[in-house]
């Protein structure tokens, strides 16, 4: 039976951040809390056209704690929409990587999807859960819609739910019925693998490995959602065996780890790759949309370089792009390496605010093929999310193409990067994260910096090498639909091409995280240590922002 459940008072804290609503599991477990946000999403789903049948919605998540409960709850609430939602497609055991969910939404012409993930945030009963709404193009809902959801929840008085429906057995693939709602449980991996087959040349990659039996690959799924995907794609399809994937079991608490693929949190992989001289090492985050690429000789592919190198090689290395690229894009804090590739290849390079939702319109308008963020996110218009496994496949394809183009040369990540830097020069890039600082301190620091940004023509701290060319608070007007977004990060660009940026994270679940991004270009000095090359700039930025004064921190939590 359909029941209307009344709330004592609406929740006022359900404002989605950079990528969905992320809170402690305990917050989602409060009575009616998850229901309230789901009600907001269901209200944001457009009504079906007159006479048309109800919509299809995709549901799935990264396997974290509370995902099963949330999926069952969404089914009971969707079944109470009186036909607005007629069908739910859900991953086996409610598991879908974020890229796989984006693909399913597009492929099955769903009205949207509900993604049960807090991405790279730790999971388990005392950590984070998250819910993200994606729209019919497969991408994260734009701000217009997330604001609507937030406004709806702030005044919600009651929500509808089917009370006495038995749980749907999500471990059984096939079609189930939940009242009037059809629930199709699908293999989590199959459609995604098919998608990749239409993008990459699997036979060529197999031949590459067959010709190099000593070439070692190690993929770290960090007990996140990509385990089954990586086992199937790298282990089986590319013939590398199950040993090529570590931490492949999806665990509700990610094995107690922090499923964020960077040099700090993916340290087990980093240690093995650098110690055992593994040629190609890669990691992905909890929900599978991020990637880190590392290799022997202590090689680390900075994500800002990664998207630029992929764009440089795309038409040659990846069949999906053989007819050329529409354009490229990066988030504002991401380095300008991609801009150089765009200039050389006569492509437009768009600069958008942080967060994947800003790429979708450009892709839908066929203005954008490849894009990336400095935060270990890389992707293309094959879906509307960043895609960790896609990035790994792209880099393997580049290695294969590099081998073909340079017979007899060393085939390694290091060689590909050296070749790239020789052609374009190098954008040194570093990011400092100060996690879990006091919200007041972070806000105070940003407010003072915003008010006192060093002006064009002035010297940063009187330093004669640091003449300010431009500074401001980044805003963006979407060239496709004209929507305007402001307050996206404080930047100071110097006349020598260097830049630093401060912004506050929008994905944390408690306190505040300050991010400082720095970049500096060198045309010919390409072998410096990035932290050393950027040291003076970083120190100047920290002093200008009075970071230590406001936060009491003298060192970052994570350095990239
Ligand atoms: C961070 C990254 C941003 C990324 C977002 C979601 O946001 O900086 O580039 O798009 O996470 O990634 P913020 O607001 O904390 O800086 V994921 O893998 O969490 O979906
Ligand atoms: Co993620």
Q: Which atom of ligand 1 is nearest to the CA of 331?
A: 9
Query: Are the C-beta atoms of residues 123 and 41 closer than 8 Å to each other?
Result: no
Query: Are the C-beta atoms of residues 388 and 261 closer than 8 Å to each other?
Result: yes
Same domain, 182 and 246: no
Same domain, 243 and 335: yes
Residues with CB under 6 A from ligand 1: 18-19, 119-120, 285, 289-290, 331, 354-356, 373, 375, 377, 505-507, 515
Angle between helices 67-78 and 33-44 (to 10 degrees): 50
Nearest CA to ligand 1 atom 10: 355
Query: Are the C-beta atoms of residues 543 and 502 closer than 8 Å to each other?
Result: no
Share of the chain above pLDDT 90, in %: 95
Ligand with smallest separation from the Cα of 435:
1
Find, among 387, 384, 368, 367, the residue nearest to 376 by Cα: 387
What's the Rg (C-alpha) of the chain?
23
Same domain, 229 and 112: no
Between β-strands 21-24 and 85-95, what pairing exists: parallel, antiparallel or unpaired? unpaired
The reported pLDDT for the residue numbered 495 is 94
Same domain, 8 and 124: yes
Q: Using one digit for the tens of pLDDT, what is the confidence trace for 43-53?
A: 999 999 988 99
> How far apart are the CA of 375 and the centre of ligand 2, in A?
10
Probe ligand 1: pick from 118, 286, 375, max atoms within 8 Å of CB? 375
Residues with Cβ within 8 Å of residue 331, at least 6 apart in sequence: 351, 352, 353, 354, 355, 358, 372, 373, 374, 375
Asked which of 368, 391, 424 is the last residue of a domain, the reply is 424
pTM of the model: 0.96
Query: Are the C-beta atoms of residues 261 and 357 closer than 8 Å to each other?
Result: no
* Burial class of residue 14 (count of CB atoms within 10 Å of its CB; 0-12, 13-18, 19+): buried
Same domain, 98 and 197: no
Nearest CA to ligand 1 atom 5: 355
The reported pLDDT for the residue numbered 216 is 97
Q: What CATH number does the domain containing 534 carry? A: 3.30.310.50
Q: Which atom of ligand 1 is nearest to the CA of 289?
A: 18
Q: What CATH number does the domain containing 283 carry? A: 3.40.120.10
Helix (H) or strand (E) holding 151: helix 143-154
Q: Which atom of ligand 1 is nearest to the CA of 285?
A: 18
Probe ligand 1: pick from 16, 18, 388, max atoms within 8 Å of CB? 18
Tokens read off for 460: 């940063």
Asked if 188 is an active-site residue, the reply is no
Same domain, 336 and 302: yes
Q: Write down the residue that tokens 């991020």 correspond to.
A: 290
Same domain, 155 and 14: yes
Same domain, 394 and 491: no
Residues with Cβ within 8 Å of residue 461, at least 6 apart in sequence: 540, 543, 544
Residues with Cβ within 8 Å of residue 241, at least 6 apart in sequence: 235
Q: Answer whether residue 81 shows pLDDT above 90.
A: yes
Probe ligand 1: pick from 96, 261, 334, 355, max atoms within 8 Å of CB? 355
* Domain count across the chain: 3
Nearest CA to ligand 1 atom 17: 119
Probe ligand 1: pick from 377, 378, 442, 558, max atoms within 8 Å of CB? 377
> How far apart are the CA of 330 and the centre of ligand 1, in A?
13
Query: Are the C-beta atoms of residues 555 and 472 closer than 8 Å to each other?
Result: no
Same domain, 403 and 448: no
| Average of per-residue pLDDT across 339-343 | 98
| Average of per-residue pLDDT across 479-504 | 95
Alpha helices in 406-451 (DSSP H): 413-424, 439-451
Tokens read off for 251: 């665990």
The reported pLDDT for the residue numbered 560 is 87
The reported pLDDT for the residue numbered 359 is 97
The reported pLDDT for the residue numbered 511 is 84
Same domain, 314 and 436: no
Between β-strands 280-284 and 158-162, what pairing exists: parallel, antiparallel or unpaired? unpaired
At residue 226's C-alpha, the angle toward residues 307 and 276, to 5°, is 75
Asked which of 398, 424, 450 is the last residue of a domain, the reply is 424
Asked which of 382, 409, 424 is the last residue of a domain, the reply is 424
> How far apart are the CA of 90 and the centre of ligand 1, in A?
25
Lowest mean pLDDT among 209-218, 277-286, 327-336, 458-467: 458-467
> How far apart are the CA of 279 and the centre of ligand 2, in A?
25
CA distance linking residue 153 with residue 11, whole number of Å: 6
Nearest CA to ligand 1 atom 2: 375
Q: Answer whether residue 508 shows pLDDT above 80.
A: no
Tokens read off for 438: 């006091």
> How far apart are the CA of 263 and the centre of ligand 1, in A?
17
Q: Using one digit for the tens of pLDDT, what is the confidence trace for 519-557?
A: 999 999 999 999 889 999 999 999 999 999 999 999 999
Query: Are the C-beta atoms of residues 227 and 254 closer than 8 Å to each other?
Result: no
| Average of per-residue pLDDT across 101-114 | 98
Q: How would residue 114 be classed by pLDDT, with cut points 50, 70 and 90?
A: very high
> How far apart are the CA of 473 and the centre of ligand 1, in A?
19
Share of the chain above pLDDT 70, in %: 100
Nearest CA to ligand 1 atom 3: 355
DSSP string, 505-519: -SS-SSSEEEEEEEE
What is the average pLDDT value for the chain, to the nearest integer? 96
**C-alpha pair distances (Å), 38 with each of 45, 74, 78, 132, 150:** 11, 7, 9, 10, 11
Find, among 459, 457, 445, the residue nearest to 502 by Cα: 445
* Burial class of residue 29 (count of CB atoms within 10 Å of its CB; 0-12, 13-18, 19+): middle
Find, among 82, 76, 223, 81, the residue nearest to 90 by Cα: 76
Ligand with smallest separation from the Cα of 140:
1
Ligand with smallest separation from the Cα of 307:
1
CA distance linking residue 31 with residue 370, whole number of Å: 42
Tokens read off for 112: 């949207």
Same domain, 462 and 534: yes
Tokens read off for 363: 């892709």
Nearest CA to ligand 1 atom 13: 505
CA distance linking residue 56 with residue 63, whole number of Å: 22
Please identify which of the residues 19, 119, 380, 498 carries the catalytic annotation.
119
| Average of per-residue pLDDT across 243-261 | 96
Domain that holds residue 38: 2-188
Q: Answer whether residue 157 shows pLDDT above 90.
A: yes
> How far apart are the CA of 411 and the centre of ligand 1, in A?
32
Same domain, 249 and 306: yes
> How far apart are the CA of 200 and the centre of ligand 2, in A?
22
Nearest CA to ligand 1 atom 11: 507
């Amino acid at each position: 039976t359909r029941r209307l459940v009344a709330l004592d008072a609406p929740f006022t804290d359900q404002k989605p951040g950079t990528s969905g609503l992320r809170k402690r599991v305990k917050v989602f477990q409060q009575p009616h809390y998850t229901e309230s946000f789901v009600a907001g999403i269901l209200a944001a789903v457009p009504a079906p056209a007159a006479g048309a049948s109800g919509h299809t919605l995709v549901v799935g998540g990264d396997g974290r704690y509370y995902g099963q409960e949330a999926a069952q709850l969404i089914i009971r609430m969707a079944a109470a929409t009186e036909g607005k939602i007629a069908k739910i497609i859900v991953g086996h055991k409610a598991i879908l990587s974020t890229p796989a969910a984006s693909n399913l939404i597009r492929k099955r012409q769903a009205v949207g999807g509900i993604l049960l993930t807090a991405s790279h945030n730790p999971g388990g009963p005392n950590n984070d859960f998250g819910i993200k709404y994606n729209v019919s193009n497969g991408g994260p809902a734009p701000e217009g819609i997330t604001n609507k959801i937030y406004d709806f929840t702030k005044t919600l008085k009651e929500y509808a739910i089917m009370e006495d429906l038995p749980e749907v057995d999500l471990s059984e693939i096939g079609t189930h019925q939940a009242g009037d709602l059809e629930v199709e449980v699908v293999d989590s991996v199959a459609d995604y693998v098919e998608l990749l087959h239409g993008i990459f040349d699997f036979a060529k990659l197999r031949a590459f490995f067959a010709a190099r039996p000593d070439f070692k690959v190690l993929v770290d799924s960090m007990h996140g959602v990509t385990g089954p995907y990586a086992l199937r794609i790298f282990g089986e399809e590319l013939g590398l065996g199950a040993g090529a994937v570590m931490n492949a079991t999806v665990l509700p608490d990610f094995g107690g780890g922090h499923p964020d693929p960077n040099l700090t949190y993916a340290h087990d992989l980093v240690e093995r790759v650098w110690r055992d001289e593994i040629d190609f090492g890669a990691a992905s985050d909890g929900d599978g949309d991020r990637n880190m690429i590392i290799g022997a000789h202590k090689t680390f592919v900075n994500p800002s370089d990664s998207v630029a190198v992929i764009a440089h090689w795309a038409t040659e290395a990846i069949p999906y792009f053989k007819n050329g690229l529409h354009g490229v894009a990066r988030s504002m804090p991401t380095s300008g390496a991609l801009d150089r590739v765009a200039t050389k290849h006569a492509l437009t390079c768009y600069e958008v605010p942080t967060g994947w939702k800003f790429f979708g319109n450009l892709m839908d308008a066929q203005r954008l093929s490849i894009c990336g963020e400095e935060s270990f996110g890389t992707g293309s218009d094959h879906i509307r999310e960043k895609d960790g496994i896609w990035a790994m496949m792209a880099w393997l394809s580049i290695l294969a193409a590099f081998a073909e183009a340079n017979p007899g040369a060393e085939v390694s990540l290091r060689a590909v990067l050296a070749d790239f830097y020789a052609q374009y020069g190098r954008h040194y890039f570093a990011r400092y994260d100060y996690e879990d600082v006091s919200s007041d301190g972070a806000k105070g620091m940003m407010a003072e910096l915003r008010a006192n940004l060093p002006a064009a023509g002035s010297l940063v701290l009187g330093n004669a090498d640091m003449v300010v060319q431009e500074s401001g608070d980044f805003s963006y007007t979407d060239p496709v639909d004209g929507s305007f977004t402001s307050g996206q990060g404080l930047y100071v660009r110097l006349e020598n091409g260097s830049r630093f940026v401060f912004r506050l994270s929008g994905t944390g679940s408690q306190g505040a995280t300050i991010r400082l991004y720095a970049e500096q270009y060198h045309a010919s000095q390409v072998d410096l240590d990035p932290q050393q090359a950027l040291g003076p700039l970083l120190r100047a930025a920290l002093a200008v922002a009075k970071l230590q004064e406001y936060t009491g921190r003298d060192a970052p939590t994570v350095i990239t």
